Amino acid sequence: MGEQLEKIFDVELKPGAGENYVCNLTKPEFAEKMANKMPTEPLPDDQMVEVALKRLDQLRKERKSLQLYLDICVRCGACVKQCHYFLGTGDPKNTPVGRAELLRKVYRAHFTISGKLFGSLVGAQKLTPEILKNEWYKFFYQCSECRRCSVFCPYGIDQAEITMAGREVLNSVGLATKYITQVISQVYKHGNNLGIPEAAFKYNCQFLEEEIKESTGVDVKIPVDKEKAEILYLPPSADLFTNTDTMIGVAKVFHAVGADWTMSTYASEAANFGLFFSYDDIKTINLRVVEVAKKIGAKLVIFGECGHAWRAARQYMEAMNGPLPFKFMNILEYTAELIRKGKLKLDKSRNDDVIVTMHDPCNMARAGDLVEEGRFIIKSVCNNFVDMDRSVIKEKTFCCGGGGGLLTEEIMELRMKGGLPRATAVKEVVESHNVNYLAAPCAIDKAQLPLVMEHYEIPVQVGGIHDLVGKALILEGQEEFEAKKKAEEEAAKAAAAAVPSVCGLCDAEFATMDECCEHAEKEHKISKDQCDLACEPKEGAASAEAAPSVCGLCDAEFATMDECCEHAEKEHKISKDQCDLACEPKK
């Protein structure tokens, strides 16, 4: 472990430092949509404790693991320095054991004989509305359910389960965050976290198809709402808007192997925020996926680059919504398998502009066992890969600081503090190996990590793994298209270079722009690039735009390229850029 990384474990205790970070409370219009039937507003104080204790009692009886985790902690402290929010804030209530104690104290006081008899002597504390509102509500929303602490606990106590139970108790008395309930209510209304309506979702898929066509010349389809398909693909909805290179990479993979796939506007989201909220909502969100898969007869459901989507599917879907008439897997597994079988034509050198390291999303690495596939894919599509220190990767990965439903503006400072350990580890490989690309196969990471990297001034681009796959993957027909495009560009460049030119510095005249550039280099000590800026075509000389042109779509002839472009815009509804591609200079 490097010196910088070692230093972050040397935490200065700052009791009370976490008190300032409070998530905004939900609104009735979001709360009323939740599948867990929570109250739409916080209950009055005189009802709060009774309802909360009833729910806690129910949960500990229903979830045997929770009961176990409440009983077996020996307070050894092995988990203390493994939580990124503790490392970032120094607040003892942000240690995993400190956070769990908020709930354990109440459990002991109300549900154990020793707690009832000896009270605070055995660490018991009776529940009050203030404890719920001021302690639980704050600190159970300063845990990202990342489970890093569980890896270091000698008893394997799963703090995420305790946090989930704490949040379910809070929900039962009307205390939930606006961010999480708003996201879930958007899923129930539009099928996805971002609340993208059906028409916009479809439009964006078409837009991405055009993007692929423009760069590869290949007709790659991104199907939506096909009536029957072998594969149902669930992207994080952000891949349709902000992380579009990830979606493009995935679509290219499906195209390359001729997959019969579709996405669905009813279940257009891989992510499942129920995981941060309630079992009822995990199940209800997963149910949408199951319904669509059954309807279209999918034999395989593939989850996109999203950490907690994978955990919600992997750990809960069969148990809550099964038996399932289909198999499901993660896109990393799918692509890795295709690469192993030699089904994808890959050119690693197309990623030679990046030196890559990989952030393991917590919910892939610790709750889904997906630690090797991502690395295998990256090494198959890139020549330059460097792992971060082994103490902070794979099952020991650090959270990005925005997981667990904490990716919300009002706690931005906490998010940055929570991102400190991950940022420090990235910084080490940036400084030691010139890493410039942080591969993070999770939509939450892709939203949070760029902010963290900027905050800690680490010059690295954050992107997905399929972004890299998309760049390296060669589709059938793509190379011919690229060769033609290159030849056209060179011809256009040569034509432009052949235009008579006047030196912008000394008015000397030349038969070609190239000669003019050579002159500028020799006489004025200006390189070619600068020369292009300094010189102008000789008056009266035909520029590329003024050259006669033939429309590439209908063979109509025009005196100038400009006129040809105007015609294409009017007659073929093609913008100027595309017109440049479609037309050719008249012979």
| Interface ranges with ligand SF4 (CB under 6 A) | 73-79, 82-83, 85, 96-97, 99, 143-149, 153, 155, 157, 159-160, 163, 399
Strand 549-550, strand 584-585: pairing:
antiparallel
Nearer to ligand SF4, 3 or 12 (CB): 12
Other residues' Cβ atoms within 10 Å of the Cβ of residue 483: 10
Nearer to ligand SF4, 252 or 394 (CB): 394
Nearer to ligand SF4, 403 or 463 (CB): 403
Q: For 549, list phi and psi in degrees, rounded to 5.
A: -140, 155
Residue 306 vs residues 163, 464, 466: alpha-carbon distances, Å: 21, 10, 12
Other residues' Cβ atoms within 10 Å of the Cβ of residue 458: 19
* Burial status of residue 455 (CB atoms within 10 A of its CB: 0-12, 13-18, 19 or more): middle
- Give the number of residues written for the chain: 587
Could you tell me which residues come within 8 angstroms of residue 437 by beta carbon, excluding any fewer than 6 positions away?
354, 355, 356, 357, 460, 461, 462, 463, 468
Nearer to ligand SF4, 379 or 396 (CB): 396
Q: For 274, list phi and psi in degrees, rounded to 5.
A: -60, -30
Q: Name the minimum Å distance from CB 372 to ligand SF4.
A: 22
Nearer to ligand SF4, 157 or 444 (CB): 157
Cα distance between residue 490 and residue 435, in whole Å:
33
Nearer to ligand SF4, 148 or 314 (CB): 148
Q: Name the minimum Å distance from CB 428 to ligand SF4.
A: 21
Q: Name the minimum Å distance from CB 365 to ligand SF4.
A: 12
Nearer to ligand SF4, 85 or 233 (CB): 85
Cα distance between residue 303 and residue 301, in whole Å:
7
Secondary structure, 3-state, 482-541? HHHHHHHHHHHHHHHHCCCEECCCCCCEECCHHHHHHHHHHHCCCCHHHHHHHCEECCCC
Residue written as tokens 């509804």? 573
From start to end of 284-395, where are the E strands? 300-303, 327-330, 356-358
Q: Name the minimum Å distance from CB 18 to ligand SF4.
A: 12
Contact 343, 255 (CB under 8 A): no
Nearer to ligand SF4, 104 or 202 (CB): 104
Q: Name the minimum Å distance from CB 197 to ligand SF4.
A: 34
Q: Name the minimum Å distance from CB 95 to ligand SF4.
A: 7
Q: Name the minimum Å distance from CB 99 to ligand SF4.
A: 5
Q: Name the minimum Å distance from CB 154 to ligand SF4.
A: 6
Return the closest-CA partner of residue 93 out of 159, 145, 141, 139: 139
Q: Name the minimum Å distance from CB 92 to ligand SF4.
A: 12
